[in-house]
Structure 1
Amino acid sequence: MSGDWREGHGGACHDHDTAGRREAGASGTKGTEPIGWRGDGWSRGRRRSGWDLLPFVMVVLVGLLGTAQGKTFETVIDTSDQWVYLDKFVFDDTGNGVLVYEIEIAEAEKNGISRSDFTIVCKQEIQQGNTTNFTMSSCTQVPNPSTYLLFYNDVMDEKHEWRTVYEDRLMSCEDKVRWARQPVPLESGIINRATIPLNEASLPRFWYVVLANCRSDSINARVTIWFKNNGWEQNSITSEFSYDEQGLLEMTIFYFATYTVGAFFMGGVMYRYMEKDVIHEIHWMLLGSFACYWTMHLLFLIHYAKYSQDGMGYEWLGIFARCLEVCGLVIFINCLLLIARGWTITTNKLSRKSENVFLSVIIVCIYVALFFSETMLDPAYSHYIYDSWPGYLLVAMQIFLLFLFLSLLHRTATFEKRVVKRAFYKRFGAIFSLWFIQLPIFVAIASVMPVYYKAKVMLGIQWGVQLCSFLLLPALSTTKNTHEIYSTENNYDARIPSVARQQRVLPSAMQIPASQMGSVPGGLPPVNRQMQANLGRAEGYGE
């Protein structure tokens, strides 16, 4: 069937040569402890190597040129559950993906007899005269395997669909094993190792891997699984990525290179502003936000480059990169709101600082909630960050910021009387209103996409929109009118009143600077003080 594991994988060789069998004692002692490992059963191990000590640049280069191993899942399981979820992976539709596993099951004890050493112990019991429970014919029988590596997929129209099995808490362990798309028997006491190929499918599919032992009250095993997509035979740097993550490395390389080129553009703009003595806090905040995003892409590049080599990467670098992204976003939003308030463009006084601080705290709290929500969600499900309640809050916050931005900008533009600055506010409002509204629009579009496209498409769009925003903001002012827009010499020195107050108060009472009063080209015409006028004659009277 399309998308199934290829037939014949059950005959894959189990590596008995590397098995660590336990020799039975000469005395035939029955009460020996089973071989086992102790670990936090659901934790994912991380292999350490000399990579952690190399400089970042070397990590990137070696990561890009290294040999791909595949996405790696490595853990030690010690749990009382009979059915344990391990990991998931999206295989593409080419049918060239494979799964490689290496699993060592601890030898289970039953009535004091180790299953893997059944034949040896059985013969020892017969030699000691214990023929009640053991016979020579039973010693030649191999015990049936009790541990299975199970595979489920996400096909909705088949009984093996993952959610049906995972969410049914009343289903027995035996029923879950029978409903598996493909069970692979495992033997205790040895290292089970095999490569399982995948058939061609009509669409990319999520495959979920489970370890089960319905005959025991616990599972004790050491598990390592490598997932490989199409291109693993050619050591492609993208083959180890799950299909829903393929393209992240290429996007990171592109955006890091683009941000690096953009850094020279930003540097040139800042130098030009410094030459004209019009640089102020807004520009430094914008540069700080740009630096956060540039560093974020650098850290993501290191993480994904390392991931392309060992299937693990540097998870802590990914977390730190996301923190930098939030910092850069908060700074950028504050820049937009401060410009909308007219700070350093129309007025020199920054009013209502507490509002910006409060909004910044709210945004950070939403992102923190989004992060913890993502970490606490069940990894057995396929999640999308904007399908959670923090994601809904983030979209709602973006819409609220849009209305706040337009309200502040309308107040400032109404108060501003200089033509050049009013034109700047119009361009600024038209462009960055789209910046605020783009997130809800793209989230709505992504909601109808397949789940394995949502995250990477949204990530690429968000990164691209932010890059364009950095490059467009300095471009709103031309070289000729830069000084007129950013000069603070004739700015208003008090808080900009609301639109309602501006309509109530006479312009003369608002102490508008002379530079904002307007002028007549060429000056006023000369006044003839000797001129006399007869108003009555002008109206036709007195004749």
Structure 2
Amino acid sequence: MMKSTSLMFGSIWMLGCILVIQMFLIAPGDAKIIQGHMKTASNFNFIDRFCFQPNEKGTLHYEIKYKAENCCYKLLMFNDEPDQWPYIRQHEDTLTCGEKKEAIPGTRNSKLTLTDGYNGCKKVTDSDGIEWMHCVGGRSFQTPRARWWYLVMSNCYSDVAMDFDYNITMTNGVKLWDKHFSADERYILETNLVFMVLYFFLSVITIRFSKILSERRFLHSTYKLFAFSVLAEFSSLFLMTIAYGMYGKTGLPYPGLEMFANLIESAGILVFILTIILLGKGFTITRGKLSEVSLTKLAVFMTVYTIVYCALYFCEETMFDPRDVLYKYESYAGYGLIGLYFIGFVWTHYAIYFSIKHHPDMVEFYVQFGVVFSFWWLATPVTILVCNYAIDAWVRAKVVNAIERVVICIGHIFFLILTRPNAANRNFPFNIKTTQIDSQKGYFPEAYTGTPSVLKAEAGQITNLKFTDLFVTDKTPKVKQAEQSQGDSAVSSGITLDAWIEREGLWALRNVVIKEY
């Protein structure tokens, strides 16, 4: 698993390096660029929105072209005051085009009539003799607070279908890495960059710990899942930083790269959630196998969780109206995610309770585990609710992005500290090695009890592998035979079991004996 994971993330690294080189070779653009051709029967057409940063000079540059015979188009700029765009959205089915236009106070700065001699417009004739109205101009924006502006092309007093080309560029200030971003997106690039560097070091430490645990035969499947989650988060941040960096440099979005980064991040979060639940149930800590009922519940929960996570991005891409400032959690899928997090919170602590009840020697580990992951489980639903109801639309994206990064990072760091393979770590949870099962005697530990306790089984049953054996410790006969030979050699060499354990550096096995010597 570790080799395939390394290959996967090596490929991501190579892709990222190519994109970084491309990012610095592309000539810098001016800002967020909106361009295209629109032909529609409607006489009131939304183009895009942008949030201008307060106390900085925001600019809008436009280039619009349409047939002169259809004069005269207007470029309308609505702000987010209650009596402007929110009012229009609330009553758009009952208001006429003219009434919508009049929602803007009578000022020439935000109602631009695109006709010959005004607002940078002039008539031009092409080689076919067709007259076109070609308009090039701009406006500046200075606001006391971050404010959303909504751009609309209208032709209220004509029944002719609107047909025009447009190229609109918007900026915030003059800083190279900031001016291209809407105010609600500003500092997301810097935040992701900081966490990307942090996760680089976390990934290195995780890989190092994995190597140590593998040498000591403590590299359980739960730790492999954790390692995958850390590497997935790092890879996601790496690709997301590239996407935002290229957008900041060129003004052009890279939605495909962003979506790929989001998918990797979602996979990492789902795997980490699975790891938390498994550890709460004591898998690879106090037991080597999960019951059929537990596996069924876990499969259902993770399947529903995956569907809801996919629905978040599906709703954001296909169902959200660009005329509204919405966040992915403002959907039924977002509220469903809140419910799943509460279920995960209750389920994990229910499992922890029984793990402590049956294995009181693990109480110190599980108390710390339960406290930290109580915060972890509850932080996300609280974040969703706060972002939906308490955070202003113009700061929501960057605040929620920062909180999400902090929450997942705290979970990974705590897990890494709790499972560090260091003799000074008295809370090290993995007391049983991966080669714990004795195939020669047909022993199979249904649950690790912290005492010399095994359950006898028919040797032939071990060879009949089932799906549920994915959640059972290693059953490789050769490795288990080598494990038995080590124990026998310890006895034949005349040293005590404790002395042999100390000599081998297996300090975590002092209180756990599975084999019979």
Shorter-chain TM-score range? 0.7 to 0.9
Match of 2:376 in 1: 435
**Greater Cα shift, 441-450 or 212-221:** 441-450
**CA shift in 2, pair 1:106/1:167, >3 Å:** farther
Q: Give the length in aligned residue pairs.
A: 406
Structure 2 residue 135 is the aligned partner of structure 1 residue 192: yes
1:281-321 deviations in whole A, cap 9, x for unaligned? 11111111112111111110111111012222311011111
Matching residue within 493, 514, 522 for 2:451: 514
Query: What TM-score comes out, normalization by structure 1 length?
Result: 0.70
2:510 is aligned to none
**Which residue in the other structure is 2:52 paired with?**
91
Query: Are positions 1:466 and 2:408 aligned together?
Result: yes
Choose the corresponding residue for 1:201, options 140, 143, 151: 143
Q: Cα distance, 1:445 vs. partner?
A: 3.6
**Aligned residue type for 1:59:** L
**Could you tell me which residue of structure 1 aligns to residue 196 of structure 2?**
256
Q: Is the contact between residue 68 and residue 237 of structure 1 (CA under 8 Å) also seen in structure 2?
A: no
Give the structure 1 partner of residue 432 of structure 2.
Answer: 488
Q: How does 1:79-478 map to 2 (within 5 A)?
A: 79-108=40-69, 145-156=71-82, 159=83, 161-168=84-91, 169-180=93-104, 182-187=110-115, 189-198=132-141, 200-214=142-156, 215-231=158-174, 236-351=176-291, 352-375=294-317, 376-417=319-360, 419=361, 421-446=362-387, 447-477=389-419
Change (3 A) 1:348 1:209: same
Deviation at 1:152, TM superposition (A): 0.2
* SS of residue paired to 1:474: helix
Distance of 1:241 and 1:513 partners within structure 2: 57
Larger Rg belongs to: 1
Contact 1:347 1:493 in 2 (8 A): no
2:277 alignment partner AA: L
Amino acid at match of 2:97: C
Percent identity, aligned pairs only, is 22
- 1:493 shift after superposition: 5.2
- CA contact under 8 A between 2:43 and 2:161: conserved in structure 1? yes
1:62-102 deviation digits (Å, cap 9, x = unpaired)? 63685341111112101110100000000011250000111
Is contact 1:276-1:483 (8 Å) kept? no
SS in 2 for 1:193: strand
Structure 2: runs of 5+ lacking an equivalent: 1-13, 116-122, 124-131, 438-442, 455-517
**Deviation of the 1:355 alpha carbon:** 1.8
CA distance in 1: counterparts of 2:203 and 2:419, whole angstroms: 18
Range 445-454 or range 487-496, more displaced? 487-496
> Within 5 A, what are the aligned runs for 1:29-44?
none
Distance in structure 2 (CA, Å) of the matches to 1:58 and 1:363: 34
* Cα RMSD for the two superposed structures: 2.5
- For residue 394 of structure 2, give the secondary structure of its aligned residue in structure 1: helix
Is the 1:64–1:237 Cα contact (8 Å) retained in structure 2?
Answer: no
1:529 is aligned to none
Which residue number in structure 1 is paired with residue 16 of structure 2? 56
Q: Is the 8 A contact 2:114 2:135 kept in 1?
A: yes
Aligned 8 A contact 2:364 2:427 in 1: no
Deviation at 1:106, TM superposition (A): 3.1
User: Is the Cα–Cα contact under 8 Å of residues 96 and 197 in structure 1 kept in the other structure?
Assistant: yes
For 1:341 and 1:433, how far apart are their aligned partners in 2?
A: 15
TM-score, normalising length: structure 2: 0.74
Q: Distance in 2 between matches of 1:95 and 1:513?
A: 64
**In 2, distance between residues paired with 1:484 and 1:216?**
75
Q: In 2, distance between residues paired with 1:317 and 1:390?
A: 23
Aligned-pair CA distance for 1:494: 5.8
User: Secondary structure of 1:414's match?
Assistant: helix
2-side partners of 1:58 and 1:262: how far apart?
24
Matched residue type, 1:186: L
Q: Is the 8 A contact 2:236 2:262 kept in 1?
A: yes
**CA spacing shift, 1:180–1:474, aligned 2, 3 Å:** same
The separation in 2 between residues aligned to 1:186 and 1:410, in whole angstroms, is 70
Contact 2:202 2:230 in 1 (8 A): no
Which structure 1 segments of 5+ residues have no match?
1-53, 109-114, 116-144, 497-510, 518-543
How far apart are 1:266 and its partner, in Å? 1.0
Partner amino acid, structure 1, of 2:144: S
In structure 2, distance between residues paired with 1:512 and 1:56 = 47
Q: Is the 8 A contact 1:67 1:237 kept in 2?
A: no
- C-alpha separation in 2, matches of 1:493 and 1:457: 50
Following TM superposition, where does structure 1 have runs of at least 4 consecutive aligned residues deviating by more than 4 angstroms?
481-484, 489-496
Over 3 Å counting, the alpha-carbon distance change for 1:464 and 1:76 in structure 2 is same
Structure with the larger RCO, 1 or 2 (CA within 8 Å, 6+ apart): 1
| Contact 2:418–2:427 under 8 Å retained in 1 | no
Q: Contact between 1:385 and 1:391, CA under 8 Å: does it hold in 2?
A: yes
